[in-house]
Amino acid sequence: MRALLSAYDRTGLVEFAKELASAGFELISTGGTANELKSAGLEITEVADVTGAPEILDGRVKTLHPRIHGGLLGKRSNPAHIEEMKQQGIEGIDVVVNNLYPFQQTIANPNATLDDALENIDIGGPAMTRAAAKNFPDVVIIVDPSDYERIGEMIVSDAGVSQDERRGLAAKAFQHVAAYDTLISAYLRESEATSEDKTALFPEEITFGWRRVAVPRYGENPHQAGGIYATPGETGGIVNARQLHGIDMSYLNYFDADAAWVAVNSFGVADKHCVAVVKHANPCGLAIDTDQAEAYRKAYAGDTMSAFGGIVGFNNIVTAETAIAMKGVLYDVIVALGYEPEALEILQKRRRTRVLEVALSDTPLLNVRNVTGGALVQQPDDIAEVAADWKVVTKKSPTEQQLADMAFAWKACQLVHSNAIVFAKDSMLKGMGAGQPNRAISVYLAGRAAGDDASGCVMASDAYFPFPDGIENAAKAGAVAVVQPGGSVKDGEVIEAADRLGLVMLFTGTRHFFH
């Protein structure tokens, strides 16, 4: 029996190799893996001694040889294979341990060059792993150190490693290589992110090499299973958050917490405090202020009833004053860049509330949504328009304060599910309408949520108004200004209604649906 060991991540490998050796396996290895195993007192056969050929091209070619791949791919149940292996002097390899060069770690270094990246693209490793996985009925392939103990016990047992177990290990190995290749492909496509040709972002074939980080008790509903996955190389964002307190995160906790985190970090107001209260992925409270506790109080006041059992997010480190201001309100999750020690001590008195410390993350290059038969893939929606470039289409022009409120409302509108309507005043969300098939109904709901506070508000709409009724509902609720994309065939009638009602209205020229 022979085992081929060649791994970059050698966690637990020496102990596993000793177990194989005690079970009578001849150990074959190469390079740094061989040196580490020899240093542990193990007897190792070098790959070069098996192949009769030295490593060449600075180690680029080591295991790519018939005496290695023939030993991996020869079917033990095929007499012709066995005879040919004997004629070629090829011995079978029964166990392979392999994981790949640190490509992800290499490109994570901001100083890494293209040559650095290319030199860390493993060739022999994936070929060896795939060969062993293809022939899994005869070869056990292990790519994950966490499998050593379990598989080791099976190997030395009388029963051995079952076919079902071998098949599962092979599937894991192919996925390991697929994720690795996905990472390389994404790196080589990076220059296409700035290409003027938008189709360059979408190759004919595309994969996403996500890595599982958690399995919650269930998915969106108790009868659905769910999993949480991280993007390779990404260390920020909700998926990679550090949980400082509270019970385990649920599937929907992740979903809603992400909505809160995106909301508070989407305004680009690092010199101010942004606070969002989210319920069912929609911000029911949102505010900006120079004082964090005040920003929280404003956000909470946006919808005190819906805030119960919701998610609250902060774009800065939570202070003790803010933690005290939150007293008496039940939140499922709190997300922030960090927490003052006293603030964390206060929040940890909440028995169930999950307290997450989240690092900033890169904007994903592509957003993916599954549909029947495939997936929809697009660039993220990024509001980059400047309010000064918007077009005033009514007889009345906005005041400086109204323009500032419209800029806030327009950004907030991007965070609300379509058809989205936002009422806002003084950098504070006063009411919103979301997910309605009729835009006029969204206006009515936003105005009703704002109540008496709707008086003097500005209103933002994520898409144009096809009829004047939405504008009429806004004025009836108390709005004094409207910002919307424009572009309806009935824009003239909508503008006429705004003038008749004494409203200010601006067109941005850009739609921001969020389904």
Enzyme catalytic residues: 134, 280
Please tell me whether residue 190 adopts helix, strand or coil conformation. Answer: helix
- CA distances to 4, 37, 71, 205, 258 from 45, in Å: 9, 11, 15, 41, 51
Which residues, 6+ apart, have CB-to-CB distance to 289 below 8 Å? 272, 273, 295, 298, 427
Helix axes 148-156, 163-188, angle to 10 degrees: 150
- CA distances to 72, 127, 150, 161, 166 from 172, in Å: 17, 15, 15, 15, 10
Q: How far apart are CA 450 and CA 452, in angstroms?
A: 6
DSSP 319: P
- Pick from 413, 423, 408, 506: which is nearest to 459 by CA? 423
DSSP lists the bridge partners of residue 214 as 228
- Pick from 274, 265, 208, 270: which is nearest to 236 by CA? 265
Q: How far apart are CA 480 and CA 327, in angstroms?
A: 35
By the 10 Å C-beta count (0-12 exposed, 13-18 middle, 19+ buried), 388 is classed as exposed
